[in-house]
A and B are shown apart, each in its own frame.
Chain A
């Protein structure tokens, strides 16, 4: 695998390119799926649980992408997040860390995996748990695809308030996904 073939997508997505960001996350999700299934299947955990982790990691990558230094290669950064979320998950689901050989990589391989597996996370229900302003902003901007200015006009908010609400809403969703999955 060419280690840095995904980096151009990351650089574009940091500049706010929707298509590049989707492509990046879609490709990373295949890497992450192979990684988490590989690790979790060894301790008899389900594909659903692996998918939970894939989604948690994608959310983390999205929310923390400002910590990626464009001068560095991308995959070690991705791998560090994937590994951190795996260890955190195992620690909080009471698996002994020695059960899973975390460090004998298996560098994250891209697996051809047309998976229809869903995670146990119910986005609709998580959205219900958001404060109203955040829910409105996230739904309009992230699910319905309205622009920030359209959303601001429609709901009588300022544009900066829409942006802040979307950001806080996603952050809250990321935290909920972390707590929600398989707990």
Chain B
């Protein structure tokens, strides 16, 4: 085929293009938050002590921390979904909250007697947390990948990783409604760790799922 013939074809009855590309992705992320929250409340229920002051404090802490990652990650995903967008994201910025919480966790442990370490880290809920966050992340992840595929990412590893990161954060946000693991080291390891796991899974899957 001659390239001119292709151009003739593409240039006949050109459809106007609306500005919906970024909006679909934003709506998908918002929808993912609703899904993750509803799944947690429907299957596991809210934590029974939700209204007690210390548990409310820790719930706010978890939500605040997740938003600190989720908001910039969502903005970066919007950039990564467009050609060349990988030049305008900073993965270091996304890693900062994780480093900060890890630092706080080490500080908290350093002032905790060693005999109490295992209670702080391996709460009753650690296994549930380890399993729940990645499992709840699956549906939001699939939805986000669907939305990113409609755009045009040109760095599939990073686009996949940040898709996984956003899905992991959405899942952790939902799971926080249920989880009673209230200690900084617990949050650092079981929330931080599982969200990092989701990010790595996204990085591995990105090149397969997002190719266009």
**Which of A's residues lie within 8 Å of B, judged by CB?**
13-19, 21-22, 25-26, 29, 33, 51, 54-55, 58-60, 62, 64-69, 76-81, 83-84, 88, 116, 118-119, 121-123, 141-143, 145, 147-148, 163, 166-167, 170
Contacts and interface: CB of A to CB of B under 8 A. Distances in A.
A4 B13 CA distance: 25
Given A16-B14, A21-B14, A121 B154 contact: no
B111 interface: no
25 contacts: A16-B15, A18-B11, A21-B10, A22-B7, A22-B8, A25-B10, A25-B11, A29-B3, A54-B3, A59-B10, A64-B152, A67-B21, A68-B82, A68-B83, A76-B87, A78-B83, A80-B84, A80-B85, A80-B154, A81-B83, A88-B211, A118-B2, A145-B12, A145-B13, A166-B15
B81 interface: yes
Interface of B: 1-21, 81-85, 87, 151-152, 154, 211-212
A14 B85 CA distance: 20
Nearest to B5: A123
A67 B7 contact: no
Given A80-B83, A80-B154, A147-B13, A60 B212 contact: yes
A69 B82 contact: yes
Nearest to A122: B1
A83 B151 CA distance: 16
A40 B5 CA distance: 23
A60 B212 CA distance: 9
